[in-house]
Amino acid sequence: MRYALDDTQHAFVEHVRDIAQTHLAAVPATEGRVNRPLLLELGKHGLLRGLFGGAAEEPLDLSSGDAAAMQLCLLREALAQTSTEAETALALQGLGSYPILQSGRPSAVERWLPGVVTGEVVAAFALSEEGAGSDAAALSLSARADGDGWLLHGEKLWISNAPEADVYTVFARTTADAGARGVTAFAVPGDASGLSGEHLDLLAPHAIGRLSFDGVRVGPEDVLGEVDRGFAVAMRTLDLFRPSVGAFAVGMAQAALDAAVDWACTREVRGGPLVRQQAVEHALAEMATRVEAARLLVRSAASSYDAKAPAADVTSRAAMAKLFATESAQWVVDQAVQLHGARALQRGHLLERLYREVRAPRIYEGASEVQRTIIGRGLVRARGEEQ
């Protein structure tokens, strides 16, 4: 029972579910755009505060430069079971703002984080490019020296919350031909001169877009971490958020499993409930086993992060959690759709939305193939160190 929740954690999960059902579900949904009323509601009820650890009623402490991975995972899983839109809105706030908390100058933290917590400031994480998705170290957005600052030129693609965000964590190349060692992270205002963008229309329903940088100026106060060391900022952020992507997947899978069990127990087929067919019973058993295994991997990775385990261990566990949880969720949701039949594909059905939503997590923040590479290289590296 190493990863069983204690009473405080159980209470937190129930509190999040209650807010989601009572307040968040009443906010009109949007697709392909930032839902600012929903973000304000998340802020009003203290859930965005939960991104950075501590209870909602406690004073906000932005001095730690870190967040609690287990709390983030519990928050995302609980929200995903009720509202995937609210979960995604919250997660993108955290992904975009965590590098500022972790590595920003005090002035940047004070400028952006209070608004992120209230939902008044929309944050975004801008790493991917047309030719630098899975190979993030290949990014080409350039940061050319200009006095004591830099001018950004180039494009970012597949950026969540773009082009509507108020602040972007942007990764740009400050040293040519240096791979991961020549990248710097910057906090860039959404209304910066020379910054423009457009929405993209994807199968997944959340806001995502393209950004164009035409001489966007950033100064030394906008640097996150150290110059040419921005890749470390990105990886530390992903080590925290990859397990929580797994938690999002677990929440979706649990919602699909719950729907499948309810349907199988109430649907009458040949004079009895659908669940009396052994094939259906076995399918539900396999679904439940995969959900629980994914949940335990996520909690293992979160515990490793919170315990400040060696970096290699944290990275490998985060990759395992994201890989297994997202792949399992895809399978579980698909099985739930199969059990429901055509009705599950009707617009507005819970499983119809989950079917569209569950596909993207296998790609973003490192596709499943990337996670396998991370895990495999970690095994080889560990063997070499033992020898």
Q: What are the residue numbers of the active site?
A: 365
Element spanning 180, H or E: none
Query: For residues 190 and 197, what is the distance between their CA atoms, to the nearest angstrom?
Result: 10
Query: For residues 193 and 387, what is the distance between their CA atoms, to the nearest angstrom?
Result: 54
User: Would strands 195-199 and 208-218 be described as parallel, antiparallel, or unpaired?
Assistant: antiparallel
CB atoms within 10 A of CB 384: 8
Cα–Cα–Cα angle for 324, 244, 112, nearest 5°?
A: 150
Nearest to 108 by CA among 32, 169, 17: 169
212 strand-pairing partners: 155, 196
Residue 270's region, left for phi above 0, alpha for psi from -120 to 50, else beta, is: left
User: Would strands 149-160 and 223-224 be described as parallel, antiparallel, or unpaired?
Assistant: unpaired
Question: What are the Cα distances from residue 135, in Å, to 105, 131, 161, 179, 212?
Answer: 28, 8, 22, 10, 20
Query: For residues 132 and 344, what is the distance between their CA atoms, to the nearest angstrom?
Result: 36
Extended beta strands in 1-134, E state: 123-126
With tokens 């050319």, the residue in question is 144
CB atoms within 10 A of CB 59: 5
What lies within 8 Å, CB to CB, of 105 at 6+ separation is 221, 223
**Beta carbons of 149 and 218 less than 8 angstroms apart:** yes
CB atoms within 10 A of CB 202: 16
Stated length of the chain: 387
Query: For residues 182 and 230, what is the distance between their CA atoms, to the nearest angstrom?
Result: 8
User: Would strands 149-160 and 142-146 be described as parallel, antiparallel, or unpaired?
Assistant: antiparallel
